Amino acid sequence: MVAPIILYGSPVLRKHSMELVEEDNVSEITKMLFDTLEKSEGIGLSGPQLSRLKRIFVIDTSPLLEDDITIERFKDVFINPLIIDRSTENEIYKEGCLSLPGIFEDVIRPKKILVRYHDMSFNIIEKELDGIKARIFQHEFDHLEGILFIDKINPLKLKLLYGKLNKIKKVAQKQHFFNTLT
């Protein structure tokens, strides 16, 4: 099932998400995340972006493979994720976000991370991620803390985005209005 993606301006995106427990319907929310991600041709999507304040996100690098054959296909779900360690070496990458359509800006983040999370059966997985995998993981992890990538860009560049951001906010207000009606 495809769900509407919550846009920038909605207070939901600024909230802290809650841990998932085994009693939660993990397969339902995972399916909804993957279905919505696939339809919107994105590479990562988190619970709060579908109005579910739960610590879960999905990643699928498939849309990137068409343009860059060196990128590895990486598709997985991450439940109650943690970043245990970060490399001191950083990397710049132009990020975008399904909640901020049309905005792409350079963001500096650690190049490598050590992560721990639950898989769908609540097994604990620990692994090192680098490159695009580390990049998407960190972006999605931020969503669970109410942080957006525009919080991490150069303040002067952010000022230049005010017009675009206000347009997205107006759409988000309408979205919120219709959500409260249904």
Residue 103, helix vs strand vs coil = coil
d(CA 73, CA 59): 10
Is 126 annotated as catalytic?
Answer: no
Number of residues forming the site for Co ion (CB under 5 A): 1
Window contacting Co ion (CB under 5 A); options: 51-59, 80-88, 91-99, 112-120: 91-99
Under the binding rule (CB under 5 A), the answer on residue 33 touching Co ion is no
In the complex with Co ion, which residue's Cβ is closer, 13 or 26? 13
In the complex with Co ion, which residue's Cβ is closer, 97 or 107? 97
The residue number with the shortest CB distance to Co ion is 97
d(CA 133, CA 160): 29
CB of 105 to Co ion, least distance (A): 12
Amino acid at 155: P
Under the binding rule (CB under 5 A), the answer on residue 79 touching Co ion is no
d(CA 61, CA 55): 20
d(CA 53, CA 182): 19
Active-site choice (66, 91, 140, 145) = 140
Torsion on CA atoms 81, 129, 61, 136, rounded to nearest 10: 60
In the complex with Co ion, which residue's Cβ is closer, 97 or 132? 97
The CA–CA distances, whole Å, from 86 to 132, 138, 154 equal 15, 10, 21
Binding mask 93-132 for Co ion (x = CB under 5 A): ----x-----------------------------------
Determine the longest span between alpha carbons in the chain, in angstroms. Answer: 48
In the chain, % helix, strand, coil (3-state, to 5) comes to 40, 25, 35
CB of 44 to Co ion, least distance (A): 6
In the complex with Co ion, which residue's Cβ is closer, 50 or 97? 97
Binding site for Co ion (CB under 5 A): 97
For the annotated catalytic residues, the residue numbers are: 140
